[in-house]
Amino acid sequence: MNQIYQRYGKRVLDLILVFSVLILLSWLILLILLCYCASIEFPILFKQLRIGKDRVPFTMWKFRTLSEHEDMPLQERRFRLGDFLRVTNLDELPQFWNVLTGEMSIVGPRPLPAEYGQFFSGTQHDRHRVRPGITGYAQVYGKNSISWEQKFKLDLQYITQISFRTDLIILLKTITLVLSMKRDVSLSEEKFEG
């Protein structure tokens, strides 16, 4: 049964969720776009090359939460709207486009920057046997508060037990985390260097 879900059901669930979210939150997406225009923070979208299923790189989209001045320290590049989007996880909304195009899934290991690819061990590359996700085990069981080693362990654990039940549990935990609006610490996360 789990194999049927992995092969067909997971993609169907992704599409149902994407269309549901886009219909329910289209007003919010429009409001976010208007806030960007009012704050004169452009460009609105941030794109980055990430490693996808079977190690195929793809462009992942997010609402931009830092100014474009890359020569400045991260903390100085912050702006109010970006901080709000990051703490509410609303900056992830454009990734529903990545799910729609089949580059990502709602649930799966988070896609990492393409530059990290050179540091992965053979076992760590196993996380690329499935589509990367907007949320996953590592996000609901620690996110930025756990080590890279623990994140990879959770990613690999997820891959061995993909099922509708597992995805449903992760989705429910994700909703709880998003609603809790915990302080964002992603800017202080260390880069993965093997």
Give the predicted TM-score (pTM) of the model.
0.90
Q: How far is CA 89 from CA 63, 93, 142, 162, 177, in A?
A: 10, 8, 15, 24, 10
pLDDT at 134 over 90: yes
The pLDDT value given to residue 189: 64
Q: Average pLDDT for residues 41-66, to the nearest whole number? A: 94
Asked if residues 77 and 69 have their Cβ atoms less than 8 Å apart, the reply is yes
Residue closest to 105 by CA, chosen among 9, 169, 176: 9
- Tell me the two tokens of residue 46: 């941030």
Better-predicted residue by pLDDT, 39 or 156: 156
- 2 phi/psi in degrees, rounded to 5: -65, -35
The pLDDT value given to residue 181: 73
CB-side neighbour CA atoms (13 Å) of 105: 26
Q: Average pLDDT for residues 132-145, to the nearest whole number? A: 89
Q: How far apart are CA 102 and CA 75, in angstroms?
A: 34
Residue closest to 81 by CA, chosen among 71, 94, 67: 67
Beta strands at 105-107 and 133-135: parallel, antiparallel or unpaired: parallel
